[in-house]
Amino acid sequence: MRQYLNRLLRNVKNEHDVKQSKDYEVFSGKNFDLAVGLNASGNDRMRKEWAGKDDWWIHATHGVSPHVIVKLKSSIASVIDPEILRLAGSCLAEYMNDRIEVDLIYTKVNMLKGVKGTPGKVTYKSEKHFRVYVDKNWKNLI
């Protein structure tokens, strides 16, 4: 899984750019960092401890999926590049048994609110939608 996500991020410099806690992983690229929750408590910890209010939260529209947080390194974080959404969607597809397409919802982290008593569950507002088509050979295109 680590090698797969390393290739997913185009500008990962070396293995040391991947940081892992017991319930989420962080991958550093040149222009952004991407974190993936490995379980419900990891989704919460990642959102509360690692994410900033202006970072982007990404999730599959339907079904259970990990949460992905994207930290853009540029000062212009009001828009997220569609290519970064495609990378995040491909990451989700890997965790969701390699689907052919994934419908995503995404919003800023400050538009989330955790649901008390239910680890990993959030309510959100000001969300946008994006569909990611995963090509069987997409890994070779990166």
User: What integer is the mean pLDDT of 82-86?
Assistant: 88
Residue 106 CA from chain centroid, whole number: 9
Closest to 50 (Cα-Cα) out of 81, 76, 19, 74: 19
Choice among 42-56, 73-87, 103-117 with the minimum mean pLDDT = 73-87
Mean pLDDT of the chain: 80
pLDDT surpassing 60 at residue 14:
no
Q: What would the two tokens of residue 25 be?
A: 């992983």
CA distance 69 to 122: 13
Give the H or E element holding residue 87: helix 82-95
User: What integer is the mean pLDDT of 106-119?
Assistant: 94
Residue of higher predicted confidence among 75 and 139:
75
User: Distance between terminal CA atoms of the chain?
Assistant: 16
SS3 56: strand
Question: Tell me: the pLDDT tens digits for 20-49?
Answer: 668 998 888 778 888 989 999 999 999 999
Share of the chain above pLDDT 90, in %: 43
Closest to 67 (Cα-Cα) out of 49, 48, 40: 40
Tally of helices (H runs) and strands (E runs) in the chain? 3, 9
Rounded to two decimals, what is the model's pTM? Answer: 0.80
Question: Tell me: the pLDDT tens digits for 51-79?
Answer: 999 999 999 998 788 999 999 987 656 78
Strand residue runs (E) in 5-55: 18-20, 24-28, 32-37
Torsion of the alpha carbons at 7, 139, 63 and 35, rounded to the nearest 10: 10
Do residues 83 and 61 lie in contact, with contact meaning Cβ atoms separated by under 8 Å? no
